[in-house]
Structure formats: structure tokens, C-alpha cells
Amino acid sequence: LAILFLGIYKIQMKNRESSMLLNLSDEVTEKRILLQSIRIAQNIATEDLVALENITLTEEKAVSLIEVIERVGRKLGLETRIVSIEKEESKEPLEPDIIRIVVETEGPWSSTISFARSIESLPYRVMIKESNISMKDIDWESRMVLGLHSFK
């Protein structure tokens, strides 16, 4: 009878040990899955942060943006002038500043309209605050006031 109780006790101990090892194995598997999910999320977040950085206008990127605007105008056969650039600082700390750019062009109608479309297609949030197009002799003159959100 003592041997029988000893055998039952050993079986119960091994059953408990097996149960603990099974729970430990499940925890390790869950942690691996969680770690893999975190790594995937970090990789996606890194890609998203790089993409966000590329489309966020900063003061350093403003100079290259102005050069792009002038280059696009020239490629379209327009005489392009940046008349003024002004920075309107935000009063709220979390609000972006506004860079105000006044661009004037002179040239054919189709190029003038293509230029306006190009401005709308810039990779930054561009607000065309004012746009005037008028005819001068055989060419068209345009004046656009652009507002771009700029982050510090």
C-alpha cells in the first residue's frame, strides 16, 4: 500500500512538473511572438517616420523648395521670379509656422496652368492663398501667394 501511495505521489509530482514546464513553454512562446510583433512595429514605424520626415517642410528644406519652384517654372518655359518670402511664426507652440512665398511668372497659357498644377503637386502641404492670372500682350502673367506649413 505504501508503494502504491509512493507511486501515486511520484505521478502527481511529475504531472505538476510537466504542467509547470508546459506553462513556462507557453510563456516563452508568447514572449517570442510579442517580441516579433514589437520588431515588426518598430520597422514599420521607422519607415513611417522616414516618410513623414521627407514630407515635412523645415526651414532647412525651404531653400531647396524655392529652387525647385524656380526650376519647374524655367522647365515649363516661364520667366519665374520669387518676389518675397516671409515667415509667419505661430503663436501656439504646437502649431506650425507658415512660410509665405510670392511667385510671379510670365509665359504661355499652357505653361502657366501647368505651373499651377505643379505647385499643387509639391510633396508639402501647399495652400494657394491668392492666385491672379492676367494677359499681357501675347503672354500670360501670374502671381501666386503660397502658404506652406513649416515645422521647427
pLDDT by residue (tens digit) across 93-125? 778 888 899 999 999 999 999 999 998 888 777
pLDDT surpassing 70 at residue 52 = no
| Type of residue at 63 | V
Closest C-alpha to 82, from 99, 57, 59, 61: 99
Closest C-alpha to 101, from 74, 122, 75, 83: 83
Q: In this predicted model, what pLDDT tens digit does every residue of 14-49 receive, in sequence order?
A: 999 999 999 999 999 999 998 888 888 777 777 766
Task: Report the pLDDT value the prediction gives residue 133, as an integer from 0 to 100.
Answer: 93
Q: Give the three-class secondary structure for 127.
A: strand
Distance (Å, whole) CA 52 – CA 69: 21
Q: Give the three-class secondary structure for 92.
A: coil
Find how far residue 43's CA is from the centre of its chain: 15
Q: Give the three-class secondary structure for 85.
A: strand
Tell me the HSE value of 97 on the side-chain side, using a 13 A CA sphere. Answer: 15
Q: In this predicted model, what pLDDT tens digit does every residue of 66-82 receive, in sequence order?
A: 888 899 999 999 999 99
Query: Which residues make beta-bridge pairs with 100?
Result: 86, 147
Q: pTM above 0.75?
A: no
